[in-house]
Structure 1
């Protein structure tokens, strides 16, 4: 089969776990699966650079630059049918008068993107299309090929307060329709599968669970020169806690900061926390909280860290703290257990499914409980040693080889189901 993997909407450095999932997916297909041919459609230079090393006889990279998309848009519009021009005209008049699109989408983009991708799918003889980022993107893309959709999470159905009105509206018109339209859904955890059934009434037989795993770069590193180099590069102390998460509200940085304040006042415990991840819409609240609690000396923001440095930083850390309210999976948790980094984590959503008995749990709503569990893990060396051992064993459940096998099965199922529908 020829599988198209649609990643034109992915930008490097902003998508967090989704970008990590995509990079590891391509690397896994390159390493473990040569049964199919894969055509990877990307539109970002950094993503192109990341995929390039994994191209070969069965993985082809199709790069649509911004200039290419503009030129193709102009050409497609020049040959558009009269009824499309009429819809565009009506939509533009509506937008000018009321500052909104009457069709709820940009008809120009709908038409040009559909035409461009249909031509590409025909050109390369694509048999099925995989959308790896929770929605068919753009969600209005009109194609008749079998669709495989990876769903990371549907967090807005449980925590709408973490999103602005515009994001809620976007998700409401794209998430459920995408899930309903897909021939097969790849859920990244059993928890995500459960939420799709619970909130969207998706049939269980339509959902394949494929754990994403992590890069093989996350392992124990004994190269002293490399460790010292990265420590010096980021000015890291000999002991620190690590929390790798973009500053979204659900990542719960605020409670973590309150816990650090409690650790200082109640236990006279002043170990630094290193935060990695892109700045998102809760960043200002986090910075204000650091100021209010006078934690500047204990919190170090590294922002977005190059992928090559992350495994080294994991190796340098003493423990990982993971207070998230909501995860569809939690790739950093798998990265941690592969490295041998003990974890204190939230007891919510998919996190226990991933960590199992290889971590110590706390209530993410309680700063006191977070502080207590951090202190317990930090002070108990025997506990850390036991958790590391359990984590290394548990990591075997999340090898990409199994994930790629399940993903490949999903491609086959989608294609076969579409054939059955036609007969």
Structure 2
């Protein structure tokens, strides 16, 4: 099978993507899928690019509309905040129903396998951007973003862990190539699965150009809505879930001197997640004391404003395969505090202030150091702006394209 049609000068490929991760409010995997496809669409070496979700196949203008205008698979920017909250609530409720996860996955597999047969017979490379592919007889690339379900199964619903344990080894064996978000993830895969290192290709993620420094005037409307001042608050972005280490982070913030907490309130942006009831109680207590402002889901424009107007962006996660929010903080011109474990040092490259995420005292000390020293904040903000230049979606797409060419 020749999936790489040769012209005089170049290898031309046909690509097929699973779009399921782009449905509803976008997580990191949905953002990855969106930007990778968008960067590949206009590549002259891509002869055809198609996507599927459920029983629907999107090609050409229909696929472009999904990426640019919302189309069938609406991006987070086009959703109302109330709709995003409702969809997340339904999703987490569905995950709590015994047996729902494998049933939903089986239905998607069945739908996908039925519509993919013509693509395999016409030499399309199927790229599954979200770990587990549907049945496909042609050439296949699979992206593995992390192995948190193995390293920290307590961070995930039991049914998802069981599903991933049951299916990921088969996916890794079946794939012609595996794309990993970081060298850290590649090492994780090699440690867990009997696979050749030559089969795993590292392609660092990029950052959306919408993340960039903004002036106080540009962010004023958003700041007024939450009664905030420019560069006078600590920002944390993400779903309320154990992996994000919010309990230790909240304890570290709460241990800061009262004057620091008064001058720099903590803003939590993001929705509820799995096992978040204890966190919510802790947050509510801090809200009553006026130390924490919880925004819930935000329109994208407001999230961009908060990134670019915070004094510090804090992301002391316990385990990440990449850590895209670190780049988003860098690109926004905001000093970043993050963890010194897993993929974060690889992404940070020393531009962030890195701390041990398991030590409340180290997190507290790192926060205090940044908030107490404007010159240190300026230094890390500048280092971040320099570091982020190495990460673009165009570069990610170029490196991924090189993987497809090897299947020629």
TM-score by length of 2: 0.81
- Aligned-pair RMSD on alpha carbons? 3.2
2:44 matched residue in structure 1: 34
Q: Kindly tell me: are residues 266 and 200 of structure 1, through their superposed partners in 2, closer, same or farther at Cα, counting changes over 3 Å?
A: farther
8 Å contact kept, 2:271–2:296: yes
**Partner residue of 1:133?**
130
* Runs of 5+ unmatched residues, structure 1: 56-60, 66-98, 417-423
Q: Is the 8 A contact 2:16 2:125 kept in 1?
A: yes
Counterparts in 2 of 1:378 and 1:152: CA distance versus 1, 3 Å: same
Corresponding residue for 1:22?
A: 33
Report the 3-state secondary structure (helix = DSSP H, G, I; strand = E; otherwise coil) of the residue aligned with 2:318. Answer: coil
Residue 194 (1) aligns with residue 187 (2) = yes
Deviation of residue 309 (structure 1)?
3.2
Aligned mates of 1:318, 1:229 — CA distance in 2: 17
Q: Tell whether the 8 Å contact from 2:253 to 2:367 is kept in structure 1 after alignment.
A: no
Aligned residues: 367
Displacement of 1:223 in angstroms is 7.6
With structure 1 as the length reference, what TM-score do the two structures score? 0.78
1:106–1:392 distance in 2 versus 1, CA, 3 Å = closer
2:3 is equivalent to residue 4 of structure 1: no
Residue matched to 2:153? 160
Unaligned runs of 5+ in 2: 1-12, 75-97
The higher radius of gyration belongs to: 1
Q: Please say if residues 182 and 322 of structure 2, whose CA atoms lie closer than 8 Å, have aligned partners that are also in contact.
A: yes
The 2-side partners of 1:244 and 1:44 are apart by: 34
Counterpart Cα distance in 2 of 1:62 and 1:155: 32
Alignment of 1:107-118 (within 5 A): 110-118=109-117
* Partners of 1:42 and 1:62 within 8 A in 2: no
Match of 1:236 among 215, 228, 232: 228
1:279 aligned counterpart, secondary structure: coil
Following superposition, the deviation at residue 129 of structure 1 comes to 0.6
1:272 paired with 2:265, answer yes
Q: 1:334 to 1:112 in 2, by over 3 A?
A: closer
* 1:342-382 Cα shifts (integer Å, max 9, x gaps): 01111110001111111112111121211111010111111
SS of alignment partner, residue 255 of structure 2: helix
Please state whether the residue corresponding to 2:164 is helix, strand or coil. Answer: helix
Q: How does 1:406-417 map to 2 (within 5 A)?
A: 406-413=399-406, 415-416=407-408
Alignment partners' CA distance in 2, 1:44 and 1:231: 43
Pick closer, same or farther for the CA change 1:50–1:389 going to 2, 3 Å. Answer: farther
Within 5 Å, which residues of 2 pair with 1:175-324? 175-222=168-215, 224=217, 226-238=218-230, 239-264=232-257, 271-291=264-284, 296-324=289-317
Task: Label 1:144 to 1:306 Cα distance change in 2 as closer, same or farther (>3 A).
Answer: same
Deviation at 1:21, TM superposition (A): 1.4
Q: What is the DSSP-based 3-state SS (H/G/I as helix, E as strand, rest coil) of the residue aligned with 1:274?
A: strand
Q: Give, in angstroms, the shift of residue 130 of structure 1.
A: 0.8
Question: Does the CA-based 8 Å contact 2:21-2:33 persist in structure 1?
Answer: no
**Distance in structure 2 (CA, Å) of the matches to 1:253 and 1:50:** 37
Please say which of residues 312-321 and 260-269 is displaced more in the overlay: 260-269
Give the Cα separation in 2 of the matches to 1:7 and 1:108: 15
Cα offset, 1:213, TM superposition? 1.0
Match of 1:185, SS state, is strand
Q: 1:44 to 1:394 in 2, by over 3 A?
A: farther
Q: Secondary structure at the match of 2:143?
A: strand
Q: CA deviation at 1:294?
A: 6.6
Contact 1:275 1:299 (C-alpha < 8 Å) held by counterparts: yes
